[in-house]
Structures are given as C-alpha cells and as structure tokens.
Chain A
C-alpha cells in the first residue's frame, strides 16, 4: 500500500495550542514538510515572533531562537551574516511585522538580507485577545475598534508586501497567498519553497504573506472565516506574486553561474 499522508518528520509529536480552524497550524505543517522535502533540517533556523506563534519552537524539530516582539528582522539579519550557509526564516504576525517591527522589517528587506519572512496576516492581534491590527480592514470590529476600523482615527489597513516591493533590488520575491482550501494551501507551500530557494541561491530578501484565518477573534466558525478571507480580505490584500526578480536575466545568469 502506498502511504500518501503522514505527520511531517520535523513536526514534534506534541499537541499544538492553536485554536481549531487557525491558519497557523497549516503553515507550521507546510514549513516542516518543506524542510523535510528540501532536506535542510540540519541547517534551518526559525525565529518565531511574539504572538500566537511564540511557541513554534515547541513544534519545530530544528533550531529556533525566540525574538522580542517585532525584532525578528534584526536577529535574522545578524544570524544570517554570521551563518551565511544556513536557511534562516522569521515567522511573524501582522502586529509583529507591520506595527512594532516595521523598522526592522523594512530595513532588513532594504539591505537585501538573505533570509525569508513568513508573514501571517490575520488582520487582528490574536494572542492578546483580538485587538485592532495594522492590517485590520475598514469597518472590521475588534476589541479596540468596537465600532469598526475608521480612517480618521485608525488609519488604513497597511499593505506591507506592496510597500516592501517598492524597495530596490534587495527585495527579491514577495508573494501573498492564503490557506483556505487545498489549492491555496498548495500555492502557499510552493511560495515558501521558492522563498527558501531564493535565499539559498543568495538572490535577496524573500517574503510570503499568508492571509490566515483567526476564527476565535473574528468570532466566526472556520468555514465562515475562510469565506471572509475569500470575499473580503482578498479585496484589500489581493493574492498573487507582488515582486519577483528571479525572472530577471541578470539574476538568472548569476544563479546559474553558481
């Protein structure tokens, strides 16, 4: 009999603390599958954030370093410079990456640091109980925007991926995906794989933004959450490749020359 599915090798055999229907657990699984498939477990280092994914190191069976809230980009920068042949990625939520860690993110990307960022965008602060995030949509109700997000008071949902894409050649690849059905999950996996490959090929900074359901704080069931991403969130945060310099002739030649 052919085995078509099993627990990824580098996902530790412990229960996850994520809520039912949460996108984090899917992405964690995809990463561990990739680490196995790409055979990079002995040189992969993850930098988890502060937030719902703070305990990632309890699930990943490869090396991890905790980060203070938002500082992943700075830690990854130094680690990758000291250990250039390791595969290093930060895993950050919207509060971590797009609010408190905006400076670290922008400048690491601008320097073209050769690490990957997995950016989980669920438009809300998950672990602290559902406060407004920098990516919260207009009119979206959260515990700190109880009548809905509003422009004059809260500003607009920030599009980090689009902003980062405007940076020069340091930024090699940015794609926005989601994890609401089998095709989108497969696409996310492909995107993360490409991002890892880009850092291994020494091309530049790579980031995959994943629109990820947070049923608990959205006060929806998992299916409603997926529908909300599909119908509302993707209107503000359209899916697809936002930047990719790997098709650029010069970059191709450089990679092939290696």
Chain B
C-alpha cells in the first residue's frame, strides 16, 4: 500500500470515524481514501471543509462530541491549523493530525522536506503547550504509529501529530495492521453530548483568573512530563562500537541508514540514532551515547532544526556536526557517506 493510504486505513482500523480536511499536495490520496472508506463505516463522517481552519475546528467539534477524529494536510495548511491545535491543547481534547511536510517557507514546493520540525515540536500555535510528534520512516511505521497515535491522544487528551513527507506518502511497501495492541483507556467523562442524566458541563480554554490559568498551565506541564516519561521512542542502528553517530529521523533516517551501511563496508565505525518521537525527544538516548561516540552528525532535510534538540541533549559534552539540505532536496546516501568519511579522517578516528 501507498504511505498516504496506509495512514487512512490504519486510522479506520484504530476506530477513527471522522475525517475533515482540505485538499493540498502531497497528501491528497489520504482524504480521497477517507472519503470513500468512511462511507463503509457505520457513523463514518467525511467532510471536505472550506478551509484548513474550518477542518481543524470540525476536528475539535467531533472530538468534544466523543468521536475518534483525524485531519491531514501539508505545511502551509498545518500553519493555518495552528489556532485550532492551540485550542485543542487548551481544551485538552484528543485528535490526530497528519503533516506530509513539503519545502518552505511560504508556498515553497511539494517536495519532501523536514523544515516543520520547529513548528511541530515547539508548539506551532500560541500558548504554553506541546503536541506529541511521531515520525515514521516506513509504511509499516505509518500504520503502527497512526494506530498508536489515537490511543496516545485519547489517553493524555492531547493532540498527536504525525510528521512525514511526500516521499513516505507516495512510497509503496507491504504492511500489516496486526501489530496494534489497543491500550486500556480512561472513560471519556469530559465529552459534550447533552446533559442527560448528569449535571450540565462545558469545555473551554478561557480562564480569566490568572491564578487558575497558571494552575491550568502547570497541570498541562505535569501531563507533558508524564508523556516524556512514558512515550519516548527511538531506534538505534549499529551503535555499539560507533565513533560517529548520525542522528536523523523519517525520510532522512532512511537515507542515513543506507549511508551508514555503506560507510561500514568501508570499515568506518558509524551508527545511526533515529528518534521516532520528536516530542518528547529521546535526549537520554543521545546522552547515553555521548560516552562512546566522538562526533554526532545531525542529518536533516532542512537547514538545521532538530540539531537544537541534539545540542540541548548533549549540553556541550560532545561535538556536533550538521549536514542538511533544505527546500525539498532529497540528498543521496553517497552524499552523506562523503561527509561521514571526511569527518572520520579529519578527526583521526
């Protein structure tokens, strides 16, 4: 299956009954798939909204009414959704949001890119909040992480972002949907569905009293701490004797894996650290390897965004080198091998 449709099918199998979105390349197969697939589901709801802003607010409406809901878009569209994402976080409502990142800023292009890392991991909208960010690197991971995203989102009552790109969206790989182990989830006792047999209630993010607002913020922070404790995912490849660790995620990590394998053939001791959760960030994994690794090569399809998290993790304890290509350029493994080997010999490993 193609990456974009994998996300759609995974969502349906995880119990998603609502999809709202606005067309934008390179993710159109996903809403197209949902528009068809949701008609086969009892209570399935699909609306092609008039705007991205509307789509994310429909997501909020469906979520607060108790449904499992998803939207998807690509970079400029995700920018438009930020207001709604901030409200979802303030209201503590679950939702799964897919971003098939393209080159930017502005309209940019439709090529695969990783330049929305800051926007995704730092909040993106206004206010003190976080969204969980999952970065798949294969169709199988698109399936697994999409399904898990719904559970994470429901469990913590917080939006979860899936960050991929057009390359992963267009890629065809065999997938199984059998890996999903549904989590035990708390009852949705906050939803708004009419005050039948219970006192009336409301959902809001407006808290005029500054003390109460501060407490609400601290409450969110406690939740984010819990997420950081429980949900970090990171993949390590050929790290045991590595002198150089490449740090990369998503499509860049696929390229990096090829480069690491080739460099190994040349006898270079190189490994790969691949963060799967971009927030919360696997800082402990990076830190752990600082003891044996002499150089961290951060490799991104951007002008350098995740590098900040690597540097924050290392706090100056190890050297960091950056190689990236912004603007939707897809670097080749050979390009990276050259960087790795020149660093390897320059540093005299």
Contacts from A to B (Cβ < 8 Å) = 41-45, 54-55, 57, 60-68, 71, 73-79, 81-83, 86, 103-104, 106-107, 111
Contact = CB atoms under 8 A, between A and B. Distances in A.
B197 A42 contact: yes
B283 interface: no
B50 interface: yes
Contacts of A83: 65, 193-194
B205 interface: yes
B54 A103 contact: yes
B265 interface: no
A43 B45 contact: no
Given A66-B202, A107-B50, A79 B18 contact: no
Contact of A76 (B61, B69, B87): B61
Nearest to B64: A65
Given A78-B62, A107-B54, A65 B195 contact: no
12 contacts: A62-B194, A64-B192, A64-B202, A64-B204, A66-B91, A74-B55, A74-B60, A75-B57, A78-B18, A81-B45, A104-B51, A107-B50
B193 A54 contact: no
Contact of B200 (A54, A55, A63, A79): A63
Contacts of B55: 74
A79 B64 contact: yes
A71 B57 contact: yes
A57 B204 contact: yes
B50 A104 contact: yes
Given A64-B202, A76-B61, A42 B196 contact: yes
Interface in B98-139: none
B161 to A, nearest CB: 19
A216 to B, nearest CB: 19
A76 B194 CA distance: 13
Q: How large is the interface on B (under 10, 10 to 19, 20 to 34, 35 or more residues)?
A: 35 or more
Contacts of A64: 192, 200, 202-204
B32 interface: no
Contact of B194 (A57, A60, A63, A75): A63
A69 B12 CA distance: 31
A131 B47 CA distance: 35
A202 to B, nearest CB: 16
Contacts of B201: 63
Contacts of B200: 41, 60-64
Nearest to B63: A78
A79 B202 contact: no
Contacts of B84: 68, 71
A62 B195 contact: yes
Interface in B63-109: 64-67, 69, 83-84, 87, 91
Contact of A44 (B194, B202, B205): B194
Nearest to A40: B194
B242 interface: no
A63 B195 contact: yes
A103 B57 CA distance: 12
Given A74-B57, A82-B43, 20 more contacts: A42-B197, A45-B194, A61-B195, A63-B195, A64-B200, A65-B202, A65-B204, A66-B202, A66-B206, A68-B57, A71-B54, A77-B47, A78-B45, A78-B61, A79-B65, A82-B18, A82-B67, A86-B194, A104-B57, A107-B50
